[in-house]
Amino acid sequence: MAHQRHGSVATIASQFRVDVSRHVVRDAAKATASEQSMTLLQGLRLYPKAIGWSVLLSTAIVMDGFDLVIVNSLFGLPAFQERFGNLMSDGTYLIPASWQSGLPLAVLVGQIIGLFAGGVVAERYGYRKAMILALVFVSGFIFVQFFAQSLAMLLVGSMLCAIPWGAFQIITTTYAAEVCPLALRPYMTSYVNLCWVMGQLLSSGVLRAVSSRTDHWAYRIPYALQWMWPPLLILGVLCAPESPWWLVRQDRLLDAKKQLLRLTTTTTPDFDADHTINMIVYANELEKSQSSGTSYLDCFRGVDRRRTEIVCLVWVLQSCFGSTLLNYSTFFYEQAGLATSNAFTLSIVQFALGAIGTILSWGLMARYGRRTLYFGGELVMIAILLIIGFLGIPQGVSGADWAIGSMLVVYVFIYDATLGPVCYCLVSELSSTRLRNKSMVIARTAFSLCGIVVNVLTPRMLNPGAWHWGAKSGFFWAGVCVLCAVDVFPPAGA
């Protein structure tokens, strides 16, 4: 049966190459026109199943956001500080700045490995199998974090867990971009950012709940809660349809049509699955004819080089705009003068507003467009960072700590209403379909490499045992933001 199926696919593929100028181009033109004219409501009616499956896979990013906050927020947890920190002259415990940089750096290194591994596995074996493999690995790696007896062991565990997290980032965004039509694509790709914020929000809530504990369960409970995600996600992914775009790239046209029908409703009278498959086939063949292959080097040839440059810039700017302060927000609030309980509470508020901002971005993108929203967000964030810097100058001023915390909360809201979600839309839309996996791997790797530099600087800016800039760090990031805004500044008429 398998032999007959592959034989049929080969026959169809060969017929396509012969008849491409007759019916395939005609069907592709019809499907393209239909998709470009599709409204949001029509997309919701035709692709409700695609939305559901995309949401399911993207939920894996919740794990990424959940653990990322744990890694950085534990530096402000008293029980963790006492267990792994150094005793200071005032009787308190503090994690050295070197380890505050080292743990996030280990995560970034692991993510870079996971990005390349996830991209290779997904392109060769499909998104479903790559996703399940990553979920199985992360389930095992959590044991290293949970039973860590030293910062070195915790570093190894964080780096191992970051490998499947990196795979999640490339798989979920690419899957969302491929299973959804143009009308739904910006919402489902930016939903990945919302999942990230939801993970950060859940993590902040858990850490707030355990912040008063003085035993080892204060930091082990958050790690243990990660085990609740993989079993549920594995069951869901096992039932999920594969991307029709990936199947077409494998010359499995019959399977691509079957999976497309699983992603759509069959009650829509003006939808023709054959036309849509021919549109995918035509796009794939067109891109094959314009490029020599699908290696990473192809991302830097011809028009794809410019696409890769833009995608890398968009993702790198997320680090350059001081977003690392968000990851260290609890520790930042403590250094600004807030009590531990208030610091964790304010972290919950900031990520809750971040989730609201991401949802609002869907309407803002439709009204103002990607580039205007991206650039406008940059300008507002520069102003907020300057205000934070000025608030950090006076010493002993009543209410300054709460003012600094409030401005960072507003910063998070603006970030997640503009740069955060818009980034995911741009990186998924700008790349060619055949090189989408690889260009996104390169862009996310550039983001992680930039993050290594940023994560070396940020703890030293905030740590009293290092540079101790505190809120004055806002001046540094505002300056970097100005330089980044110059690159993004839209020309007249754009």
What is the model's pTM? 0.74
pLDDT band at 22 (very low <50, low <70, confident <90, very high): low
**What's the pLDDT at 351?**
81
Which stretch of DSSP H or E encloses residue 93? strand 93-94
Dist CA 321 CA 479 (whole Å):
9
> Mean of the pLDDT values across residues 366-394?
85
**What's the pLDDT at 15?**
43
pLDDT > 90 fraction of the chain, expressed in percent and rounded: 15
> Mean of the pLDDT values across residues 472-490?
77
pLDDT digits (tens, 9 = 90+) for 313-325: 888 887 777 666 6
Residue 125 has pLDDT above 90, yes or no: yes
Q: By C-alpha distance, which of 414, 347, 351, 356 is closest to 380? A: 414
**What's the pLDDT at 11?**
42
Residues 6 or more apart whose CB falls under 8 angstroms from that of 405 comprise: 333, 336, 338, 343, 346
Q: By C-alpha distance, which of 278, 470, 331, 334 is closest to 390? A: 470
Residue 75 has pLDDT above 60, yes or no: yes
What is the per-residue DSSP string for 405-456? HHHHHHHHHHHHHTHHHHHHHHHHHHS-TTTHHHHHHHHHHHHHHHHHHHHH
Dist CA 163 CA 112 (whole Å):
7
**What's the pLDDT at 163?**
93
pLDDT band at 4 (very low <50, low <70, confident <90, very high): very low
Pick the CATH number of 47-240+291-488 from 1.20.1250.20, 3.40.50.720, 3.60.70.12, 1.10.3720.10: 1.20.1250.20
Residue 101, Cα to own-chain centre: how many angstroms? 21
**What's the pLDDT at 269?**
66
Residue 152 has pLDDT above 50, yes or no: yes
Domain locations in the chain as residue ranges: 47-240+291-488
Six-digit token pair at 231?
């079993």
Residues 6 or more apart whose CB falls under 8 angstroms from that of 375 comprise: 485, 488, 489, 490
Give the residue, 161 or 346, on which the prediction is more confident. Answer: 161
Which stretch of DSSP H or E encloses residue 378? helix 370-391
Dist CA 172 CA 56 (whole Å):
9
pLDDT digits (tens, 9 = 90+) for 203-240: 878 888 887 888 888 888 988 988 988 999 999 999 99
Residue at token pair 């410019």: 306
pLDDT digits (tens, 9 = 90+) for 243-284: 999 999 888 999 999 999 999 886 666 788 888 888 888 888
> Mean of the pLDDT values across residues 193-206?
84
**What's the pLDDT at 16?**
41
Cα distances (Å, whole numbers) of residue 231 to 139, 199, 238, 409: 9, 17, 11, 34
Residue 434 has pLDDT above 80, yes or no: no
pLDDT > 70 fraction of the chain, expressed in percent and rounded: 84
What mean pLDDT value characterizes the chain? Answer: 80
pLDDT band at 12 (very low <50, low <70, confident <90, very high): very low
Residues 6 or more apart whose CB falls under 8 angstroms from that of 334 comprise: 76, 340, 343
Residue at token pair 């995560």: 107
In the chain, the largest separation of any two C-alpha atoms, in whole Å, equals 81
Dist CA 80 CA 62 (whole Å):
23
List the single range of 88-92, 250-254, 453-457 with lowest mean pLDDT. 88-92
Residue 20 has pLDDT above 70, yes or no: no
Residue 494 has pLDDT above 50, yes or no: no
Helix runs in 126-184, H state only: 127-146, 151-179
pLDDT digits (tens, 9 = 90+) for 325-350: 666 666 667 666 677 777 777 778 88
> Mean of the pLDDT values across residues 412-430?
83
**What's the pLDDT at 113?**
92
DSSP symbol at 251: T
pLDDT band at 109 (very low <50, low <70, confident <90, very high): confident
Dist CA 176 CA 179 (whole Å):
6
> Mean of the pLDDT values across residues 60-82?
80
> Which residues is 87 bridged to in the sheet?
93
The one-letter amino acid at 326: L
Dist CA 437 CA 440 (whole Å):
5
Dist CA 334 CA 466 (whole Å):
15
Q: By C-alpha distance, which of 60, 327, 321 is closest to 195? A: 60
> Mean of the pLDDT values across residues 343-371?
84
Residue 287 has pLDDT above 80, yes or no: no
Residue 9 has pLDDT above 50, yes or no: no
DSSP symbol at 87: E
**What's the pLDDT at 133?**
95
Dist CA 181 CA 437 (whole Å):
18
> Mean of the pLDDT values across residues 392-396?
71
pLDDT band at 18 (very low <50, low <70, confident <90, very high): very low
Give the residue, 16 or 96, on which the prediction is more confident. Answer: 96
**What's the pLDDT at 238?**
94
DSSP symbol at 21: I
Six-digit token pair at 132?
């399940």
Check if the beta carbon of residue 417 is closer than 8 Å to that of residue 368: no
**What's the pLDDT at 10?**
41
